[in-house]
Amino acid sequence: MVRNISGFGQYNLLNNAYSSSDWYLNITSRYFKSNHDFKGTQHLSFPEDSIQTIHSLTTDITLSRLLPKGWSLSLSLPFGVNNRSSKIEHGGISNPFHTTHSFGLGDIRFTVYKWLLAPAAKQKINIQLGLGIKLPTGDYKYQDYFYRKEDSAVLAPVGTSIQLGDGGTGLIAETVIFYILSSRISVHGNFYYLANPRDQNGTSNLLGRPPTTFALKEIVKAGGDVNSVPDQYSVRVGGDFQLKNWVFSLGLRDEGIPVYDLMGGSNGFRRPGHNTSIEPGIVYSKGQASVYVYIPVIVLTKEKQSAAEKRESENRNEYVHRPGNSTDYFVLAGVQFRF
């Protein structure tokens, strides 16, 4: 449901709004293994032969330039290494498991930030606004081989869950707010939204299968055979406790893909829904460097019916809602250098 585009998305207590550094370099990796199917909030149980497993690792390299009067610029380059293992996508459960892969550059982001209050060394509260653009630099039609039979393979676009990009030029809006309660305790909130005006990117999601069966014909008729270019969002609120060079964090995170976009069409294939997580984290800083690990543990997954499935339901005069894939937890880990 959620692709690795929102980067770190955490406010770091050790930095506040004030910093004596001119440049920041963040290298953040996000990893998850996804092998659970959901319809709505219901966790579906399928035979082992029917399970599809996704491994996703994205490393985000972000260079930020701090400017006078609370302004800053940020350039983010994500790189992805993904794979998806399945029998169903490769001829059915009577066949062995096969794996499709993707590797390479994702969608580059450039963002301008501004602290609304003049940054100061002992500041209690501040709000930062960010506006940016996401460029369609990631390959959104990455291909690999699908095995219809053991002795024959078809080269076709891999599933959307492991595509490197979405094919859209997106608009980014971000907000960060913090409040220092004491010398050790603070609270903060983050909001991130990516608006993708493009409707569909023209990439087939039939995984090399010809649209000949009844089900596939109905999917094509409803427009669900071509990948959508969806919006995405991430919200996080939490608190931090500082102890010398350590910061211990606990937050609540929610992130997902809406059924309908703010701008443009919402046609094509997407898997809308959201994950709500409890997110503990820890940061250690020494000199001009910080190391951090955050582990969001998902407590609620809600997978929703897409716009294409709604049209298919109307065409077939029956309710159509296919399951989506999610995970139990994921890991955010990285380093930050100030210079």
Sequence-ordered list of residues with C-beta below 8 angstroms from that of 184, at least 6 positions apart, any chain: 241, 242, 243
Question: What confidence score (pLDDT) does residue 91 get?
Answer: 81
Give me the residues paired with residue 104 across strands.
80
Whether the predicted pLDDT of 15 surpasses 60: no
pLDDT per position as a tens digit, 37-68: 899 999 888 888 888 999 999 999 999 999 99
Q: Helix crossing, 307-316 with 214-221: angle to 10°?
A: 120
Structure tokens at 58: 């994205």
- Whether the CB-CB separation of 163 and 143 falls below 8 Å is answered with no
Q: What is the pLDDT of residue 212?
A: 77
Taking the C-alpha atoms of residue 255 and residue 55, their distance in angstroms, rounded to an integer, is 19
Q: Are 170 and 177 in contact (CB under 8 A)?
A: no
Give me the domains of the chain, ranges plus CATH numbers. Answer: 23-338 (2.40.160.40)
Mean predicted confidence (pLDDT) in 172-181: 92
CA neighbor of 257 nearest in space, from 303, 220, 289, 217: 303
What's the confidence (pLDDT) of residue 321? 92
Task: Report the chain's terminal Cα–Cα distance, integer Å.
Answer: 36
Paired tokens of 145: 């081989």
CB of 82 within 8 A of CB of 103? yes
User: Which residues, other chains included, contact 22 with Cβ-Cβ below 8 Å and sequence gap of 6+?
Assistant: 65, 66, 339
67-123 confidence digits (pLDDT tens): 999 999 999 999 999 999 999 888 888 888 999 999 999 999 999 999 999 888 788
